[in-house]
Amino acid sequence: MTICTLYASEADDLIGLHDVTTPDLTLPMDIRAQAIIALLRNIEPDAEGARRLWMAAKRGPIDAFDPWRATACHGDGAAPPAASDWRERCWRELYPEEEQWYEIAVGPLGHPIAPTVDLTVNNGFTIRFSQEVSASPPSHSAVGPHPNGRTGIAALHEQELMAWLIDGLEDCVRQCTQGTYNATIRERLPYSMRYGLVSRERYWQLYPQTKTLLFDHMCAEEAYRFAILFHTDGTGRSNAVPSRRLRDMNATAYLDACMIAYQAMGLAPPQSGADGGGWFAQYADPRCLELLSLDQSSNQDFAAYVAACSMSLTAWGIRLGPGFAWLRLIPAADEHGWYLRLAWSSLPSAIEAVRAALALHDAGMPIAVDDAAALAAMLTGDDLIGIMPYHQLIDAGALAAFRRMHGVGECIALPMERRSEIVEAARWLPIKEVRLNR
């Protein structure tokens, strides 16, 4: 496969200014944009209408590596004592392979072409081609929502980026036509850009410190007790609702339950003698604090508030976890009465979920735990860990879909340490083949 016109570090310098809320680069629908779209039209779209191709760029010589990036690796913004040595070390750490790979994707391409088309690189950097944008000024291209909205990309560098994309996509389509593209990707795409599965037990053997860290915060007896108490019917999705119910529930009862959960997590009390409301105000999602303004003893007001929050995805967050995901304690009611549902999202919050669930159970509260079987399997090492391309881990939708499809309790990027051993231990999923659009 022909290597593109930029070295990997040079390409990364151009696509490094990623904005999570707006297109990173807005360009006119000129002849270059039309060429890119025409090339991608050759590819058969997937079920969502997206077209994807992998491009490679050589690591290149160290001279192509911007020394400023080596300074940035140093952390404090100052050049390290042995600047040349540090530059080479950073270069090799950032580019351990001889080539770097980039997934180029566009969404559905209509007929005629839509007014705007978004192209992404590695699910991050986004170029928006727009019919409403005129040719850029000679010095800068439009970056972000407004022309020159940030630092801008110099016109020369924009031309380099577009030439790199066109050259790379032309080569990919040529390889597809010759019937060699998919074999090349299977052979050369690094495992860090692939999807795989590894048993947690084997992962613990390779990285025993991860198990030690887990059980530094939880004893094995708690994990096994949880597995016994919160077993499921085998579906693994959520345990059956508890047989016991509360006849009524108000804000005071709910906040008292939250306090029990917080204390079980080992959190510091907000102040001496604080009640459930004080604990909730200290640790809960600020978007949920409206609960504190209700008549705390009114069953009717609480029921109305629960009904109003029934469709909310942000209600009832009681404890912030990694990735801004909240551990949620959700009040639920049916014809038999009230109970609580504990919803966790990741391994660190899962530890707190186990302690909260056991404490609420011991306090006589009717409590159910979402995905209880999956959580129990995670804690006993009987589940699978998903390995995802590092550029996909930032996509919450892709992460959730992968977890559901493969029944994994946790997803990670491929570790650098002992990489060859985990590559051998994992089961790698087939790479989706690319076909020409006939």
Residue 374: half-sphere exposure toward Cβ, Cα within 13 Å: 22
Identity of the amino acid at 130: S
Q: Which one has a higher pLDDT value, 326 or 172?
A: 172
Residue spans of alpha helices (H) in 237-371: 251-265, 276-283, 299-308, 347-362
Q: Which residues contact 292 (CB under 8 A, 6 or more apart)?
A: 251, 277, 280, 281
pLDDT, position 151: 42
pLDDT, position 182: 98
For 126-164, give the DSSP string.
EEEEETT--PPPSSB-EETTEETSSS--BHHHHHHHHHH
What are the φ and ψ backbone dihedral angles of 109, each rounded to 5 degrees? -110, 110
Sheet of 125-130: strands edge to edge?
51-58, 99-106, 116-121, 125-130, 25-28, 142-143, 146-147
Q: pLDDT tens digit string along 257-293?
A: 999 999 999 999 997 668 999 999 999 999 999 999 9
pLDDT, position 205: 96
Q: Which one has a higher pLDDT value, 358 or 213?
A: 358
Q: What percent of the chain has pLDDT over 90?
A: 52
Q: Per-residue confidence at 15, pLDDT binned at 50, 70, 90?
A: confident
d(CA 372, CA 238): 5
Whether this model's pTM surpasses 0.85: no
**Is pLDDT at 136 greater than 60 in this prediction?**
no
Antiparallel, parallel or unpaired: β 142-143 and 146-147 = antiparallel
Q: For residue 62, how many other CB atoms are within 10 A of its CB?
A: 16
Mean pLDDT of 201-214: 91
56, containing H or E segment:
strand 51-58
Domains of the chain, by residue range, sit at 8-60+95-189, 239-370
pLDDT, position 133: 76
Q: Which one has a higher pLDDT value, 47 or 54?
A: 54
pLDDT, position 399: 75
CA distances from 115 to 112, 120, 148, 161, 358 (A): 9, 17, 21, 22, 55
Q: pLDDT tens digit string along 50-102?
A: 999 999 999 989 888 876 654 555 444 455 545 667 788 888 888 888 999 99
Identity of the amino acid at 132: E
pLDDT, position 298: 97
3-state secondary structure of 364: coil
Q: pLDDT tens digit string along 384-409?
A: 999 999 888 766 677 778 887 888 87
Mean pLDDT of 338-342: 94
pLDDT, position 88: 84
CA distances from 143 to 27, 123, 166, 394 (A): 9, 18, 20, 22
What are the φ and ψ backbone dihedral angles of 379, each rounded to 5 degrees? -75, -25
Q: Which one has a higher pLDDT value, 133 or 295?
A: 295
pLDDT, position 121: 94
pLDDT, position 370: 86
Average pLDDT, the chain: 85
pLDDT, position 350: 82
Token couple for 19 = 């904005």
Q: Which residues contact 167 (CB under 8 A, 6 or more apart)?
A: 2, 4, 5
pLDDT, position 219: 83
Euclidean distance between the first and final Cα of the chain, in Å?
23
pLDDT, position 238: 46
Cβ 266 vs Cβ 217: under 8 Å: no
The most confident of 20-24, 217-221, 335-339, by mean pLDDT? 335-339
Q: Per-residue confidence at 156, pLDDT binned at 50, 70, 90?
A: low
Q: Is 211 left (phi over 0), alpha (psi -120 to 50) or beta?
A: alpha
Residue spans of alpha helices (H) in 266-371: 276-283, 299-308, 347-362
369, containing H or E segment:
strand 367-369
What are the φ and ψ backbone dihedral angles of 157, each rounded to 5 degrees? -70, -35
pLDDT, position 419: 93
Q: Per-residue confidence at 146, pLDDT binned at 50, 70, 90?
A: very low
